[in-house]
Structure 1
Amino acid sequence: MPHDRPLISGGEDALHAHLRPLIDRARAVDLSVSFLMTSGVRLVLPHLRDLLDRGGELRLLTGDYLGVTEPAALRLISDLEGARRLHVFQAAQIPFHPKAWMFTFAGDGGALIVGSSNLSRSALTDGIEWNLRHVDPVDPAPLLAARAAFEALLARPEVTELTPASIDAYEARRIAPLPTASGAPVEAPETAPIPHEVQAEALAALRATRAKGYGAGLVVLATGLGKTFLAAFDSADAARVLFVAHREEILTQAMAAFRAVRPRARLGRYSGEEKDAEADIVFASVQTLARNAHLTRFDPRAFDYIIVDEFHHAAAATYRRIIDHFQPGFLLGLTATPDRSDGGDLLGLCEENLVYECDLWSGIDRGLLAPFHYFGVPDPVEYSQIPWRSGRFDEAALTEAVATQARAENALEQLAKRGGKKTIGFCVSRRHADFMADFAQARGLRAVAVHSGDTSAPRASALKALEDGDLEIVFAVDMFNEGVDVPSIDTVLMLRPTESPVIWLQQLGRGLRRSAEKTHLAVIDYIGNHR
């Protein structure tokens, strides 16, 4: 755990460990560093995304001095959504060297860290860097002075807003500096992702299907086999791409995958308050794009390639409006579960063309997914007594039924007997997750609850703590159905009734990543008689 002494000295006393709890506590973060490197941005990006997702604010000022700042790092930080203001100090005439973090807390006060660290992996982790931390209640003067200086910097004529066009212009004029001249740390460039064997087979099948004249096709890949990366690989030559999904978490995950495959592309969101219709790759929520006022903004031929994720939903009216409106060069449907309970004709929406399929068992047999041991536990809950509303159990009544001392005690006994060291437990509601986390903590376990409510632990920090072994259990609701990248998770605890096989498979998939730390995944599933 990080200490609370004023001096953070680097190396084993890494700055990154001290930044995480301050970002988690803040309602606003102001950051000024002389340069950004992709490696450093990746370290803080999940925590800054949490800040923005909970309604916080981010202001960043970096520089272009000596061309050290990497264009890829600028694009990566620009992918953040929410109340963020990003600026660049054009340092052609004057050097730019500030390195400071300013935190405004939700209550009174804040904190200041100022020192030697820029935003690079070495500066945040194992480099010898000295940074001084000051907490506001001790003396507000240093933080007030830093904030005033930051505002003065933002007002200077050398400061410009960071935009896709300004990043392109910077990249065009930039001459990558030699470390000896710039003093920047020598860091290995990021390795470009490459398709694994199943993705390579699917890509070959997609090329063959287009050669036969098909303009659409469905690919079925089990959760954990990389459907989104497959789409990014296959659409890499398309000038304009539309990626459609029904959940914001899926769009965020997809943007990260496409950014890894296409680091120079302009990515944009079309959902909620963000409406970037001109990006090279547009990530759109079904709920927003299907509205006539938004859909008609786009020419039917605006996109060369369209991806519809979770294609098992595609027979719904909202998806149909989008599919019927556009005329892309190719439309790719992706799903892990092609069956629709309402009998909708999915293949009919993509020219009756099932391009490729690899199920869960094939993924395990081929060594791409972890094997799992399944333990079914009789559930004592009388589900027949719980009201069924709008296709699901009434949440309040369901929570009352499952959030009991006896059931929680049994769950921890099963976990001690069957589970491993790093567990995700899926709960029915935020109140249930909080109850289970409190119950586990009272029994001496290191546990937190993560969900969309005010009582949630920070998502990114909770996952990092689970990965590092500082937590044993994270209790979640639906936030971790997609996009959790902790390969060492070795136990999935299903504490909710299976209302949807799709959700069950998604939650199972959180533990199917291969890892040298585990031989198998343990699945502890409470089984009851219900709809």
Structure 2
Amino acid sequence: MDTVRQLQESLYRGFIDQKSYDRSPYAPKLLINDKKKHEEVLTTLLHELYRCDSFFFSVAFITESGLATLKTHLLELKKRGVYGRILTSTFLQFNQPKVFQELLKITNVEVRLAEIEGFHSKGYVFKHKDHYSLMVGSSNLTVHALKVNYEWNIKLHSHENGEVIHHFGQQFEDTWSQAIPLTKEWIEKYQQLYRPQAHEKIAELSPGWIDRNAMKEALEIKPNKMQEAALKELDALRTAGQRKGLIISATGTGKTYLAAFDVRKYQPRKMLFIVHREQILRKAKDDFARILGGRTENFGLYTGSGQDTRARYVFATIQTIAKDIHLQRFAPEAFDYILIDEVHKAGAPSYQKVIDYFQPSFLLGMTATPERSDDVNIFALFDYQVAYEIRLQEALEEEMLCPFHYFGVTDYEKDGEVIDQTTDLSRLISEERVEHLLEKIHYYGHSGETVRGLIFCSRNREAEELSTLMNQKGRNTVVLTGADSQDERWRQVNRLENGVIEYIITVDIFNEGIDIPGVNQVVMLRQTQSRIIFTQQLGRGLRKDPSKDFVTVIDFIGNYKKNYLIPVALSGDRSLNKDHIRRRMQTNSFVQGVSSINFEEVAKKKVFAAIDQTNLQEMRKLKESYMNVKQRIGRRPLLKDFLQQNAVDPEMITSKYGNYYRFLCKLKEQAPQLSLLEDQLLYLISAEFINGKRRHEAGVLWHLLENDAIAAKEMARIIRASGEENIDAAAVSVKRMLTTDFFTDPYQKKYGRIPLIKEGSGGFTWTRAMQKALAGSSWFRTLVEDVLVCAELKNEQYEKPPFTLYQKYSRKDVCRLLNWENDESSTIYGYKTKYGTTPIFITYHKPEDVEANINYEDEFISRRELQWYTRSNRTTASKEVQEIIHADGEQSRIYIFVKKDDDEGREFYYLGEAEPLKHTVENTSMQDKNGKLIPVVRMRLHLKKKLMRLSTTICTAINEKPAEELFCWLH
């Protein structure tokens, strides 16, 4: 169908009859920001931008943060030779001078200033091959308008000869011809006339040193939303009789203020605050004084430079208070409230000594990173009582942190080689690499007038040479390493905050324990080795400060094996599930609010390559996840604990080791033994039921566990309650699963040929083997129940049977969920018609050595139409082809499953039901490897539901690279 026909159909559906049959991708659409549905105006804007041949915007207001969300994509367009124009204004002096400076950096975009009183337009127009796309409505080019605010925008499409686009184009050209070109000289003049407006957001000032602590002023300071919730949890903890509590709070979320609010509420007779650095201690003392109020002498320091024992609130460094001479100056009961900041360090002997000595009524620990790579269990120190936890993603959603724009950029490349972990130091500090670095930090910029940046390097020599070269090129930098004293570090931090220097270049020493609110640019010039360190370094810029609206994070990505940790760290996903991580790479939905994640195309491919190449199921990673959960809950975890703690996906364990018992044996964990029979039965239950793709299977097994039998009527009731439509067929399917009759001989052999149930009069009972296993071991029953709990928890991601859109299924899953009597996955190949169902499996990218007669050119023509080929040696008269052609959607259903390539494993994404477009069915042919023509049938399949929410990184045209169009979102 040509473009004109599709546009005609879209107009009829959009403006005449919404129920009309529509095969057009051009239907009008309302664009809004909907947090619950993960919809953003920005997603559509980037989608159209990436596909267009050219564009023009007419927007009154532009902010630096809004422009930042486009920078990576505009750079990619420049590489493709795509140019655009932006018409904006100085209306109400909303646009700051700096945003015009940022616009000048984008060399493939021409900008002009409209000299029209009241210029307030908001329109985005994209030129494609033979049509235009328009976005017109209420959204200016600001990050709030594109991602957060309640906005209405209409997306329309027009043929190039259409009157609507003619009017838009003419209006734009008329205004453009009279507008003023944006130049450096114009910006300088505007800078002199510009006056900051009241509408500019002013961040709340952070408290500094105060001379008086008026009680009235202190009581007027109220906790924020997170702090209120945490205070309630702390109070509930103490009411329950607990004497210890742990607060896990992302850097910059105000945990010191939270502690002060809790102390204000608790009213201790005497309090002790402990941390490892005096600079942090002084800041904490000021914060407490501000919140608690009272006389200045109530707040005292206990450090190497002076010890105040009489103060009500004592702030001590661990290095001083842990010494015997100082500990003995206090009675064990001297403090009824003790607080340890940065408590992840509390495994050190000095901390243990202090904790063992004092006997407070309540002990509070605070940290952003409780997980440890050593054997120290921070959770055990606090009796596993986590009072409250807020991680990075939650803190961003609650707007407790400064928003950030992350840019994953490609590291320096020479002669086709990119920086990797084996790169010589000479290449890391070459002049060409430094030029590349300077080019990127200039292009992506920073919020505010003056850059205050941190650059993290991997080696001291690299940091020193980099500083020298940057200084030679006009940047003002200093180097700080572990060899520098605390005084020197803080002297340079103060110089950075005061604008004396632009960058501090360092090697890891600023990962934690430092507060530099003014940092507005973080540059990661080293490979990511740890998600914790990545998050800590990112967190250096997330403090709110009046001098900035956002933080720019520039991550130089080379050929590093651990690049897969980047999406893991940014999303907080600890599942070790590659599919989950791939999806994180392509959707920004895991970063809430006005922050954004952006990858240059080459950098993105390097991260994907790292995901594909790494083994996330290696024992070291699984053991680390296991130990983290064990430390957190204080006992040997079950599989359900991993789900409840957002840790490794239990399927990653069972798919590798067969069942959880075998994994525990590999870990050499002390656990009750299972017999060979029990182990084999657990293997079958774990392998087939833990994925939770059919809820009624777990329901039937639960009933059997509780009653040792199940009547046919009860089984039917459980199946009906799950939403299954064909009760009888589903009952037969469940029976054949539990008797193992469903499985092929290799699977039956793998599972020991031991059925779980046998059929009796009016129902089913356990087999003798299952009865023996359940009677002989409570540990076996516990592990079986654990699998069923996981199945129910995982089933929450699935909707009404049989399939859920965009979830993944193997061929065996599909046979099972369609209630086929046997697993016929080995003979399905591309598709199979049976029992009134036809699942179609498509692998988009075939291996290079695939035989020509099966290298079908299946592809998506639009988000609703799939061009599809049958098997070879088929014609329209073939029986199986006739069954597909005449599928009516009721008695016969077609289901579409797609994956990008075989590297993704056995599972395919489910894209929905489809029906054949009969007028497109035709006989054609393809060549085999000998050049012989082989008959095949080609047709178009129409999806009942249009593919939704395509990602922001998309192909240039939907009919040129449809796989990228599709899989950039699916991943």
What range is the shorter-chain TM-score in? 0.5 to 0.7
Change (3 A) 1:502 1:260: farther
Q: Cα deviations across residues 480-519 of structure 1 (Å, max 9, x unaligned)? A: 84453535x4321123555665554333223223467655
SS at match of 1:318: helix
Q: 1:375 matched to which residue of 2?
A: 407
Residue 214 of structure 1, CA deviation: 0.9
- Answering whether residue 233 of structure 2 is matched by residue 200 of structure 1, we say no
Aligned to 1:19: none
Aligned amino acid, residue 374 of structure 1:
Y
Counterpart selection for 2:347 from 315, 323, 333: 315
1:511 to 537, 541, 554: 541
Q: Deviation of residue 410 (structure 1)? A: 2.9
Q: How far did 1:246 drift?
A: 1.8
The aligned counterpart of 2:454 is 425
Q: Which has the larger radius of gyration?
A: 2
Q: Return the match for 1:306 from 327, 335, 338.
A: 338
**Structure 2 residue 491 is the aligned partner of structure 1 residue 462:** no
**Aligned match of 1:344:** 376
Aligned residues of 1:270 and 1:276 also touching (Cα < 8 A)? yes
Aligned pairs (5 A) from 1:440-519: 440-447=470-477, 452=484, 458-459=491-492, 461-466=494-499, 472-475=502-505, 478=509, 481-486=512-517, 489-496=519-526, 502-514=532-544
What SS is found at the alignment partner of 2:333? coil
**Are 2:256 and 1:256 equivalent residues in the alignment?**
no
2:274 aligned with 1:244: yes
Match runs of 1:33-432 below 5 Å? 73=211, 193-236=221-264, 237-263=267-293, 264-265=295-296, 266-377=298-409, 383=421, 404-421=430-447, 422-427=451-456
Higher relative contact order (CA 8 A, sep 6+): 1
- Structure 1 residue identity aligned to 2:263: S
Give the Cα–Cα distance (whole angstroms) in 2 for the partners of residues 456 and 318 of structure 1. 24
Structure 1 residues 218 and 412, CA gap change in structure 2 (3 angstroms) = same
Which digits, 9 at most, give the CA deviation of each residue in 1:169-193, with x for residues without a partner?
xx9xxxxxxxxxxxxxxxxx89964
Report the Cα distance in structure 1 between the residues aligned to 2:427 and 2:316, rounded to whole angstroms: 37
* Cα drift, residue 272 of structure 1: 2.4
The aligned amino acid for 1:246 is: H
Is residue 219–residue 357 contact of structure 1 (8 Å, CA) maintained in 2? yes
SS at match of 2:498: helix
Q: 1:277 to 1:494 in 2, by over 3 A?
A: farther
CA-to-partner distance for each residue in 1:391-420, whole Å, 9 max, x for gaps?
Answer: xxxxxxx8x885554443332222112231
TM-superposed deviation, 1:430:
7.6
Worse-superposed segment, 476-485 or 210-219: 476-485
CA gap 1:244/1:337 in 2 versus in 1, 3 angstroms: same
8 Å CA contact 1:310, 1:336 repeated in 2: yes
Post-superposition offset of 1:233? 1.4
TM-score by length of 2: 0.31
Cα pair distance change 1:495/1:455, threshold 3 Å: farther
In 2, Cα distance between equivalents of 1:328 and 1:457: 33
* Conservation of the 8 A alpha-carbon contact between 1:450 and 1:458: no
Separation in structure 1 between the aligned mates of residue 467 and residue 245 of structure 2, nearest angstrom: 44
* Alpha-carbon distance in 1 for matches of 2:526, 2:326: 37
Question: In the TM superposition, what is the alpha-carbon distance from 1:376 to its structure 2 partner?
Answer: 3.5
Could you tell me which amino acid in structure 1 is paired with residue 331 of structure 2? Answer: D
Contact 2:477–2:504 (CA under 8 A) maintained in structure 1: yes
Contact 1:371–1:512 under 8 Å retained in 2: yes
- Indicate if the aligned counterparts of 2:338 and 2:364 stay in contact, CA closer than 8 A: yes
What is the distance in 1 between the residues matched to 2:270 and 2:488? 41
Aligned partners of 1:229 and 1:257 also within 8 Å: yes
- CA displacement at 1:432 relative to structure 2: 5.9
Moved more, 211-220 or 424-433: 424-433
- Kindly indicate whether the alpha-carbon contact (under 8 Å) linking 1:424 and 1:476 is maintained by their aligned counterparts in 2: no
User: Post-superposition shift, 1:225?
Assistant: 0.2
> Deviation at 1:527?
4.9
5+ residue gaps in structure 2?
1-204, 412-417, 563-971
Distance 1:457 1:208, change over 3 A: closer
Q: Give the counterpart letter for 2:231 in structure 1.
A: L
Shift of 1:358: 0.8
Amino acid at match of 1:412: L
Whether the 8 Å CA contact 2:497–2:516 is kept in 1: the answer is no
Residue 245 of structure 1: how far off its partner (Å): 1.4
How far off is 1:271 after superposition? Answer: 2.7
SS of match in other structure, 1:235: helix
Q: Could you say if the C-alpha distance between residues 460 and 203 of structure 1 is closer, same or farther in structure 2, counting changes exceeding 3 Å?
A: same
Residues 281-303 of structure 1: CA distance to partner in whole angstroms, max 9, x if unpaired?
Answer: 22222233223333233211111
Structure 1 stretch 318-327 or stretch 444-453: which is displaced more? 444-453
Q: Greater shift after overlay, 303-312 or 497-506?
A: 497-506
Please give the TM-score of this superposition, normalised by the length of structure 1.
0.55
What's the counterpart of residue 139 of structure 2? none
Q: Distance in 1 between matches of 2:436 and 2:512?
A: 24
What amino acid sits opposite 2:495 in the alignment? Answer: A
Matched to 1:213, the amino acid is: G
SS where residue 206 of structure 1 aligns? helix
> Structure 1: where are the runs of 5+ without partners?
1-41, 47-71, 77-170, 172-188, 387-397
Distance 1:313 1:328, change over 3 A: same
Per-residue deviation, residues 133-183 of structure 1 (Å, max 9, x unmatched):
xxxxxxxxxxxxxxxxxxxxxxxxxxxxxxxxxxxxxx9xxxxxxxxxxxx
Q: Which stretch shifts more, 290-299 or 473-482?
A: 473-482
Alpha-carbon distance between aligned partners in 1 of 2:318 and 2:527, rounded to the nearest angstrom: 27
CA contact (8 A) 1:426 1:496 kept: no
Structure 2 contact 322–350 (Cα < 8 Å) conserved: yes
User: Using the alignment, how far apart are the partners of 2:428 and 2:219 within structure 1?
Assistant: 46
> Which residue matches 1:521?
551
Structure 1 stretch 309-318 or stretch 265-274: which is displaced more? 265-274
Aligned AA (2:271):
V
Deviation at 1:278, TM superposition (A): 2.9
Structure 1 residue 435: deviation in Å?
4.7
Give distance in 2, aligned partners of 1:412 and 1:268: 46
In structure 1, C-alpha distance between the alignment counterparts of 2:534 and 2:434, rounded to whole Å? 20
